[in-house]
Structure 1
């Protein structure tokens, strides 16, 4: 009966725990006064043992922590090195995560598609300029500009000759 009641006491606070607490209270109320006193004594003893174990574990943990710090100091492992190592490990874990890899894949694919779109736009513009350059109207404009340039050049020579 002790194990059954003890396990119910350690359950988390929730609707289920409330029902369990009600069950414990009902079971406890069904006991005689002498049995209730005995149950309370058992719970008190168990609580004292658990608290003693907790204190022992805290003492052992503090001792192990000091020992680990001493060893790290002797090995030259600084707080900064630990933080750096933790950060690097965290970044490695993130990079290896499936979410990161899917995101990276999507971004890479998007980048490739964007580059492809820009490439086709650039190619289209280059093609249009090439077509324009080879068109009759563009050749006609080039000839007229060339002719005007030659006329200006000749006129400049005449003016310089007269001066």
Structure 2
């Protein structure tokens, strides 16, 4: 059994059984399991006291099962984290793997493939157009002239600095 009083092993014949002390179950007046505020408020219409007590008992059992399942889940999460740590799977590595997988899925999607194809077609049309070719030639010529002018300015500055020495 676990230290908390419950056996959280789902395969155990004792699963969910509590020890003699039940500290988390609310106890109302005269030792009943009905909370004090519910006992004083009266019973809902059409519900006998025996039925209310039976429902309260069932509710307590369900809440105990929920608590047991939370403990089992917490234990499994700790065990999973320990296994990942032993395998060297850090949160950063897992994030990298998830991002890589997501990127691959996006690249394989129909929308991405079709968009890439369409952009390729547009690129081909644009680069083959006369306007693009003329603009490319003009910018290339302008770049060469700018480069030559900057080179001349650099040489002139170097000469002046040499003269100043």
Structure 1 and Structure 2 fold alike (TM over 0.5): no
Select the structure of larger CA radius of gyration: 1
- TM value normalised by structure 1: 0.44
- TM value normalised by structure 2: 0.44
Structure with the largest fraction of helix: 1
